[in-house]
Structure 1
Amino acid sequence: MSDWQHGFYKLAAEERRQRLAKARQLSMDDTTVLANTSSDLGDELVENYLTDYSLPEGVALNLTVNDKPYVVPMVIEEPSVIAAASNGAHRVSRSGGFTAPHQQRLLVGQVVLDQVTDVDKTVAWLNSQQDRILAIANEAHPSMQKRGGGAKTMTVRTPGDFISIDLGIDVCQAMGANSVNTMAEAVGNWLSDQGYHVIVAILSNLATQSLQTAKCEIAFANLATAEMAGAEVAHRIARLSDLAQVDPFRAATHNKGIMNGIDAVMIASGNDWRAIESGAHAYATRDGHYRGLSTWTVEGDHLRGEISLPLPVGVVGGSIGLNKMTKLNYKISGIKSAEELAAVTASVGLAQNLAALRALTTTGIQAGHMKLQYRSLAASVGASPAEIPLVVAQLKKEKHVDQALARQVLAAIRKDGADE
C-alpha cells in the first residue's frame, strides 16, 4: 500500500479529497466537483467517503395495483426505462390494472454446520430442538417479537455434506438484514457451545418465503400498433415468453428488463437493490434451469401476464429514515407498508417486461431506445437544454449516429445561429 493511502479512512472528507487529488493529480476543477457534491450524511454511511454520486430520478405513471393508482419514483440512468414502465402500466390500467395480493413475508437466517460425523442423527436432534432454537433466536432480538415478528419457522436441509438450519424470520416492516444476522449468530453461538462446528450464520438473500406475485390481463385492442393487430402482438409476446422459459440466453435478457424496473424502484425506496437482484436471479434457476421470471399466455381475447419473485423489501430500517429523498419518495408514491411496496414493485417489473416484449415483437427495441438515447448523446457533446431538441431532430434523420456526428450536428446548429 502506498504512503498516501495509510490512515486514509481516519481523515476528514475534505482531507481525503485533498490527499487523493495530490496522489492522482486531479485538477482544481476535479476537486471542486468532488467537494460540491459531498454531504455530511454520505460521510456517515460509507468508508473512505469522498462525495455523493447522483442518478436521475423520475416517476412511473399510470400504474394501477389492486384498484389503487400509483405514481412510483424510480432512480436509474438508462433513458428508456421509466418511459417503458409507464407505457406498460398504462396499457394494463386500461384493462383493469394489476392484481398483487399481500403474501407471506419471512426472511431466511441460515446457520450452517460443517464436519458433522452423523448427519442423520444430527438432523433428528436439531428437529427435536426446534422450540429451543426459535426461542434463542427471539431472545437475541426481543423487540422484534414484541411487534408481532421474530423467528417463526425452522427448516433443516442437507446440501452436500453440510447441514443448514434455515430460520424463517418475520421482520415486520423493516428490511431486516441486521436483525436476521443477529438472530442467526445467536443460534450459531449456541450450537457452537453444544460442540458443533458452525461455518456460517447469516441472512440468505434467496427469500423464498417472501415471494410476491403480480398478474394482469390486457385486451388485444390495448396491444395493437398502427401496423399490427393486437391479437398478433399478443401471440408474438406469448412466444417470446415461451422462449425465455427454455433458453437461458433469452431468459437472461428477459429478466434484465424486468429488473430494470424493479431495481429502479428499490433504489428510490432505499432498499438493498443488490439483495433483491441476487435473490431474483437465484429464484429464476430454482429448478436447475435458468428461466424468465414472468410468463405471458393468450387466453381468449386477452394476453395474460404473471410474475413471481422474492421481494423481501422494507419501508423502515437501513438508510431509509436517514435519506431525505427516500422519505419524500414514500410521500410521492403513497406507499405505507412493506407488503404494499412489494405488490407495487412486482407490478412495475411486469409492466416493464410487457413494454419490452411489445417493442421487440413490433417495431424492435432500438426504435424506442434511440429516441431517448439521442437526448443523452446531445447532452454528452455539450448541447444546452435549448439545443438538445434541435440536435435530436437532426439525429433522427440519420442512419448511423455516434458522438462524432452529434458534435458535427451541434456545431452546425451553432453556426447557423451565429449567422442569423
Structure 2
Amino acid sequence: MPNTISGFSKLSKTEKIEWLLDTYFTDKDSARNLVQRYWNSDEKLQKLHDEFIENTITNYYLPLGVAPNFLINETFYTIPMAIEESSVIAAASKAAKFWLERGGFKAEVLSTEKIGQVHFIYKGDYGKLEAFFNHVKPKLISETASMTKSMERRGGGILNIELRNKSQDLPNYYQLHATFETLDAMGANFINSCLEQFATTFKTEAEQFEHFNAEEKNISMVMSILSNYVPQCLVRAEVSCEVEELKSKDIPNPEAFVNKFKQAVTIAEVEPYRAVTHNKGIMNGIDAVVLATGNDFRAVEAGVHAYAAKDGQYSSLTHCSVDNGIFKFWIEIPLALGTVGGLTNLHPLVKFSLEMLQKPTAKDLMKIVAVAGLAQNFGALKSLTTTGIQEGHMKMHLMNILNQFEATEDEKAKLIEHFKTTVVTHSAVVEEIGKLRA
C-alpha cells in the first residue's frame, strides 16, 4: 500500500503538504500555490486556525453574509449566515422584510434541559439494582461537586439522574439517564465530564454493595456520553396576521395563497419524501446561523431530524393554521446552543457574529436561530406556491455559472441584464456566453 504513511501527525505543516503533493498531484506547483493562497497573511490568526483541528494544511472558506430587517419580539436583528448555497440569504431577507410590515416574529424558549447517559450492562436482579441506585444516587451528585460548583453558582448544574431499564430492547442493558442545565454554554464537555464521573462512582460503589452477589457486582460500563437528541430543549417561533394582511404584489389573492400554502405544509406533515426536502430548507437557515455563531451544526441537524420523527414517521417541523381569518405559521424545534465556550471564545468571526446579534444569551440565540429557519421555510413555500422556486433560485445561481466559465466583468454585466427577462438555465447561459464571445 504505497499511499500509507506512519507518523503523519508528527510531520510539520510543510512536510504534510509536500507528502500530499508528492503522493497525489501531478502539477505540484499549482496545488502548492492553491493551498498557500488560502493561508491567512496574519500569522497569529493562521496559527489559531491551524490549532482548531488536527493535520491542518490550509483554510476552507465559506461566505459569511447577513440577512437584515428581522424583528423578533420587538427587537431588530441583522442575522449572520455562513453558507455556500445561493438564494438562502436572499429568501431569508425577503421573508424578514415581508413580516416586518406585519408585526415581525414572536419566539419563546419552552425548555432548556439537556441530556446525557451512562450505558451499562448488568446481569442480575433488577430489584437489587434499583435499591443500589437509590443508595448511590446522592454520591453520584456529591462526587461531581467540584465540576458543577461553577455552573451551580450561575443557576445551572445537574437537574436529575434516573435509572432506566432498557433490557427489553437489549438483554441486560441499563442506563443512568441524566438531565442538565448548562445556561449559556452548549455544555458538551461539562456534561461528558459529569457522566464519566458517574460511571466511575457507580462501578466502584457496586463492587462494595453488600446486597449484590459476585456477578451483580461486576457491572460493565459501556460508555458515557451526552445525547444530541434534546426534546426538552425546545424553542418555538411563529408569525401571524389576518389573512387579508398578506396581500402584496406577490400575493394578489390572499385567501387562495393561504389555502395553497396550508396544503403545502400539510403535505409535508404526512408525506416523508416531501418532509425531508421541506425540512432541509428549514435547516438551510438554521445551519447557516449555527455555523456563523460557532455552534455544532451536525449536532443540531441530528437532534432536529430525530425530533421530526418523534411520532413514528418523519414529518414537517413547521405547521400552519387558519382560524377565524387569522393565518398562523410556526416552528417548534430542539436547539442546544451556546454563546460561551468553544469557538465562541476563539474564532474572531464568531465573536463578530455574536456582537452583531447584540451579544445574545443562549436562550436569545435559540430564538434567533428558530426564526431564521421559519423565515427560510416561509420564503421557500411562498415561492413554491406562487412563482415556483426555480425562477428566483436560478437567477441567484447565474453568478455561479458565469464564474465557472470565468466570465469577465463586462460579460457578467451584459448577461445579468439579459437574464432579467429570460429564464435562467445552464444551457441558456452557456449559449449566451458563446454568442458574446463569438
**TM-score normalised by the chain length of structure 1:** 0.92
The 2-side partners of 1:231 and 1:370 are apart by 28
User: What amino acid does structure 2 have at the position aligned with 1:36?
Assistant: R
Matched, 1:343 2:367: yes
Residue 243 of structure 1, CA deviation: 1.4
Inter-CA distance 317–299: structure 2 relative to 1 (3 Å threshold)? same
The 1-side partners of 2:392 and 2:77 are apart by 24
Partner in structure 1 of residue 36 of structure 2: 35
The 2-side partners of 1:51 and 1:223 are apart by 50
Q: Deviations over 1:131-176 (max 9, x none)?
A: 3323334444433223322111223333323222221112221121
The 1-side partners of 2:400 and 2:298 are apart by 26
Partner in structure 2 of residue 418 of structure 1: none
Question: Quick check: 240-249 or 63-72, which moved more?
Answer: 240-249
Inter-CA distance 98–111: structure 2 relative to 1 (3 Å threshold)? same
Partner in structure 2 of residue 298 of structure 1: 322
Residue 389 of structure 1, CA deviation: 3.4
Secondary structure, in 3 states, of the residue corresponding to 1:245?
helix
Inter-CA distance 244–125: structure 2 relative to 1 (3 Å threshold)? farther
2:179 to 145, 150, 168: 168
The 2-side partners of 1:209 and 1:409 are apart by 54
Secondary structure, in 3 states, of the residue corresponding to 2:107?
coil
Secondary structure, in 3 states, of the residue corresponding to 1:100?
strand
Residue 386 of structure 1, CA deviation: 4.6
How many aligned positions are there? 414
CA contact (8 A) 1:138 1:150 kept: no
Secondary structure, in 3 states, of the residue corresponding to 2:102?
coil
Partner in structure 1 of residue 7 of structure 2: 7
Between the two proteins, what is the percent identity of the paired residues? Answer: 33
Matched, 1:58 2:81: no
The 2-side partners of 1:24 and 1:135 are apart by 55
Inter-CA distance 127–213: structure 2 relative to 1 (3 Å threshold)? farther
Residue 305 of structure 1, CA deviation: 1.3
Structure 1 portions without partners, runs of 5+: 416-420
Partner in structure 2 of residue 145 of structure 1: 152
Secondary structure, in 3 states, of the residue corresponding to 1:320?
helix
Partner in structure 1 of residue 23 of structure 2: 23
Inter-CA distance 15–358: structure 2 relative to 1 (3 Å threshold)? same
Q: Deviations over 1:51-93 (max 9, x none)?
A: 1100111111121111101000000011011111112222222
User: What amino acid does structure 2 have at the position aligned with 1:192?
Assistant: K
Matched, 1:46 2:53: yes
Partner in structure 1 of residue 93 of structure 2: 86
Inter-CA distance 288–45: structure 2 relative to 1 (3 Å threshold)? same
Matched, 1:209 2:232: yes
Secondary structure, in 3 states, of the residue corresponding to 2:287?
helix
Matched, 1:200 2:200: no
Partner in structure 2 of residue 259 of structure 1: 283
The 2-side partners of 1:102 and 1:347 are apart by 12
Residue 341 of structure 1, CA deviation: 0.4
Question: Quick check: 200-209 or 162-171, which moved more?
Answer: 162-171
**TM-score normalised by the chain length of structure 2:** 0.88
Structure 2 portions without partners, runs of 5+: 40-45, 207-216
Partner in structure 2 of residue 245 of structure 1: 269
Q: Deviations over 1:221-252 (max 9, x none)?
A: 33545574112111211111111221111111
Inter-CA distance 312–5: structure 2 relative to 1 (3 Å threshold)? same
Residue 413 of structure 1, CA deviation: 3.0
Inter-CA distance 296–91: structure 2 relative to 1 (3 Å threshold)? same
CA contact (8 A) 1:4 1:23 kept: no
